[in-house]
Amino acid sequence: MLGDFFWLLFFSGFFLYWAFDAFVLQLSSRVVVKAKPSYWTAVGITGLVYVIEVVIGILAMFLAMAFMGRVAMMDMMHSDFSSWFSFVPWVVVYITISVVLFALLIGWLYGRMLRDTEGRDIRFGKGILVFLLQFVITRAVLTLLVLIRFFWVGSWGLF
């Protein structure tokens, strides 16, 4: 019973975030190119981005295992916390490369799928700008929600 409730909360939270992210895509598109897609088009594009994000995450995990080596990763997982700091430079490089490649891919996708006021593709440059604005807005709101949750739960003594 508790497991079913967990999955209900998990997926309802995911769908709420998806709905919010589609709204932010509309807003970002309106700010950058002065035109916004319909809400359902934004939902579809956002869903496609999520699928791409999952595929990139899985591929990135396999690449990390290939570069670091499976044994090194297992040693890291079963070691004390201080040994994790030896991987910080690699993690920073990995995250930087992942975000840049993801931004380029999604910028290209937005450039091909979003339209300006005259119905033309918005192209790659504006696609990246739409993505970056959407990324900043959603991450700012998520950070705010996490801080609110942290202080609310902490203030009730449940943390």
Q: Determine which helix (DSSP H) or strand (DSSP E) holds 20, and give its type and residue range.
A: helix 2-33
As a whole number, mean pLDDT of residues 131-150 equals 88
In angstroms, the CA 41 to CA 3 distance is 33
Please write the tens of the pLDDT for every residue from 31-55: 999 999 999 999 999 999 988 888 8
Please report the pLDDT score of residue 100 as a whole number: 85
Looking at the DSSP assignment, which residues form a beta bridge with residue 115? 121
129 Cβ contact partners less than 8 Å away, ≥ 6 residues apart:
32, 107
Helices (H) and strands (E) in the chain, counts: 5, 0
Summarize the confidence of residues 151-155 as an average pLDDT: 68
pLDDT at 88 over 90: no
The predicted structure's pLDDT at residue 124: 94
Look at residue 26 in the predicted model and tell me its pLDDT: 95
pLDDT > 60? residue 71: yes
Q: What is the pLDDT of residue 77?
A: 66
Give the confidence band of 131 by pLDDT, cuts at 50, 70, 90: very high
As a whole number of angstroms, the distance between CA 124 and CA 127 comes to 5
Which DSSP symbol is given to 34?
Answer: S
Q: Across-strand partners of 74?
A: none
Residue keyed to tokens 């700008």: 129
What is the rounded distance in angstroms from the CA atom of residue 95 to the CA atom of residue 50? 17
Q: How far apart are alpha carbons 72 and 152 in whole angstroms?
A: 39
